[in-house]
Amino acid sequence: MAFQTEYPFTLPRGFVDSEGNVHKHGVMRLATAKDEIIPLQDYRVQANRAYLVIILLSRVIVKLGDVRYIDTDIIENLFSTDLAYLQEFYRRVNEEGAPKVHAKCPSCQHEFDIDLLGGGEGRAVGQGG
């Protein structure tokens, strides 16, 4: 089994481009040490530490809908809900591995974990339900 380095995501609201198109589906890759170090040298981060996340996400998001190039301008123009989602997604992917959510079937009350990186619909991890 190959080591997974890229993870699909779906933004809650989506990035709206200059033509009004909404881009919700994207791919984030695992961060490298360089991804986390290089932004610290950027004058924008030195002036405002909160800007670190903008640069970091612009480095690790490799696809966002039909947008060809992800840069800081794209990340700056995300809705705050989407930015918060991506920050949490980044943290889970890079610090915890594949994020899972514990759930319970409303019909049979079976409890199980859903792999959030399983590609959109989610995969149940555990026994059937």
CA angle (78, 122, 12) in 5-degree steps = 20
Q: Residue 104 domain-assigned? A: yes
Question: Number of folded domains in the chain?
Answer: 2
Specify whether 67 is located in the same domain as 127: no
* Residue 3: DSSP 8-state: P
Specify whether 15 is located in the same domain as 72: yes
Specify whether 91 is located in the same domain as 44: yes
Specify whether 40 is located in the same domain as 69: yes
The predicted pLDDT at position 115 comes to 66
Q: Residue 47 domain-assigned? A: yes
Each residue's pLDDT, cut to its tens digit, for the chain (129 residues) gives 677 899 999 999 999 999 999 999 999 999 999 999 999 999 999 999 999 999 999 999 999 999 989 999 999 999 999 999 999 999 999 987 655 667 788 889 888 777 665 543 333 334 444
Cβ-count burial of 88 within 10 angstroms (0-12 exposed, 13-18 middle, 19+ buried)? Answer: exposed
Give me the domain span that covers residue 108. 99-129
